Amino acid sequence: MRRERSIDPDYFEALYKDKGDPWEFETSAYEAAKYRETLAALPASRFESVLEVGCANGVLTAMLGPRCDALLAVDVSETALAAARARCADQPHIRVEQRRLPAEAPDGMFDLVLLSEVVYYWDSADIARLGDWLRGAVRSGGHVLLVHWIGETDYPKSGDDAVAELRAALEDRVTVERSDRHEAYRLDLWRLA
């Protein structure tokens, strides 16, 4: 049964405290293949300013870092963020912060916003707020890259519904550059006008 409201940060903190790496980001062949595909989908070899929402323990963050002049990686779990900070300590251009989006969205403009496995944790109201924020936070011609599992969930949204709702919230600002379906996940790359 689906939850009706956005998932509370305490849910994620409990998972990381209990299991350390609850989705096996460090060891899963599925995650490693998905990360390779995510990095291959990036529309440029280098970015000036990137926001990664839901960085978890920083496995993808560390891989993304060499392609960024500045990378802000955020998550709601302080336990996960401690691991991300340690993993990315040798890349001083990476900032790791505890934030709950969309309510605690950062200031600034970004060339790329990466939303990997996060939008389906939000309810419709939060997805609409995220769309409002993205309109002002992504530079004209900048990109939003979404990666979401497409199996059954008990989250507020399915991967497909989350992507569709966010696209609707962004209205005519979105040009779809890529929309790929893999066996277990979808990858969507949008350019914002």
Q: Over the stretch 36-83, which tens digit does the pLDDT of each residue have?
A: 999 999 999 999 999 999 999 999 999 999 999 999 999 999 999 999
pTM of the model: 0.94
pLDDT over 90 (residue 157): yes
Q: Tell me which H or E stretch contains 59.
A: helix 59-64
Q: Are 125 and 156 in contact (CB under 8 A)?
A: no
Strands 68-75 and 47-53: parallel
Q: Residue written as tokens 């929309």?
A: 179
Ordered by where they begin, the domains of the chain are 9-192 (3.40.50.150)
CA dihedral of 78, 72, 158, 193, whole degrees rounded to 10: 160
Strands 110-116 and 138-149: parallel
Q: Over the stretch 3-18, which tens digit does the pLDDT of each residue have?
A: 889 988 888 888 888 8
Cα angle, residue 121 at apex, residues 20 and 101 outer, rounded to 5°: 90
Rg, Å, the chain Cα set? 15
